[in-house]
Amino acid sequence: MTPRVFGWLAAGLLSANGALAQTYVIGVEGQSFQPHYWIGDKGEYQGFARELLDLFARDAGLDIQYQVLPVNQLTQHLLNGSIDFKYPDNANWAGELKGGKAIAYSQPVVQYVDGVLVPPKRQGDGIEQLQRLAVVDGWTPWTYQDRIDAGQTQVVRSADLGQMIKQAMRQQADGAYYNVVVATYYLDNIRARPGALVFDPKLPHSRGTFNLSSLRYPELIARFDRFLAERRPEVEALKARYQVEANLDSEYLGLEQWKIDFLKRQKEKATP
């Protein structure tokens, strides 16, 4: 895949003394991960992450560009200095590759849950019934690794999210492991099959955060942290608009919105 670079400011801005202002490059993932981020028809980086990072750049007076790269190459580009920042990142990711490097990580930008989506009739069946687990190439279902190593759960490989969803819907796998918000968004808005698969909270799942990272510029990571705190209302409004943390801390995680609304109405009717 050929890296692409996009900037929200024209390259070559002049500083006060007439010198060329520095342009900072943020390495981003070249995949569709809606509603967090995706690559548009013309190759432009879009979504919640784009709007948030653009807002930070305007707030801090920085000239930034986005370099779209294959997911499995981003960390190496951060380490060799060809990009200045990486998003998303997390201190727990690619530990062996990072090898104790002094990478600076921001405060959490977004929380996420990775878990298993199953057909509604299989929800609550338990882990022993999860014998075939569909997983997108490049993903590692850590919470199931012991079962996989023991031969109790077989991994069914998928080239992408769409193929993985099809495998689970066609019963070629007993469940699909992915980011719950992203998989639910895909079912509701792209596949147009809301509720065809649902998150099973009784199965093992993991929580984590997306962070901004940098090896070269820890001081700008600190500036980004201040931005998150100082502009919190705007950041939260962006999260709400894109629903990147939709119902993460509630019993409704992974349900489509119409069902959430229905269940809430039922609860209100049952309340004395």
Give the domain extent around 136. Answer: 113-206+251-262
- Structural domain includes residue 234: yes
Q: Which two tokens stand for residue 39?
A: 């690559």
- CATH number assigned to the domain comprising residue 55: 3.40.190.10
SS3 54: helix
Same domain, 258 and 176: yes
Same domain, 161 and 202: yes
Q: Which two tokens stand for residue 15?
A: 């500083």
- Structural domain includes residue 147: yes
Kindly indicate the confidence band of residue 14, based on its pLDDT and cuts at 50, 70 and 90: very low
Same domain, 234 and 104: yes
Q: Report the distance separating Cα 61 and Cα 48, nearest Å.
A: 20
Same domain, 225 and 102: yes
For residue 243, which of 31, 29, 47 has the smallest C-alpha distance? 47
Q: Which two tokens stand for residue 1?
A: 């895949």
Same domain, 193 and 163: yes
pLDDT at 246: 81
Q: Which two tokens stand for residue 22?
A: 């520095």
C-alpha distances out from residue 189 to 79, 135, 184, 194, Å:
36, 21, 8, 8
Number of domains in the chain: 2
The DSSP symbol for 21 reads P
> pLDDT of 211-262, one tens digit each?
999 999 999 999 999 999 999 999 999 999 999 998 665 455 545 555 555 5
Kindly indicate the confidence band of residue 96, based on its pLDDT and cuts at 50, 70 and 90: confident
Q: Which two tokens stand for residue 266?
A: 């039922």
Q: Report the distance separating Cα 35 and Cα 193, nearest Å.
A: 17
The DSSP symbol for 15 reads -
- Structural domain includes residue 107: yes
**Cis bond before residue 88 (omega within 30° of 0):** yes
Tell the residue number behind the tokens 């075939």, with chain if given. Answer: 132
For residue 161, which of 114, 126, 124 has the smallest C-alpha distance? 114
Q: Which two tokens stand for residue 218?
A: 């820890």
pLDDT at 2: 46
The verdict on pTM exceeding 0.85 is: no
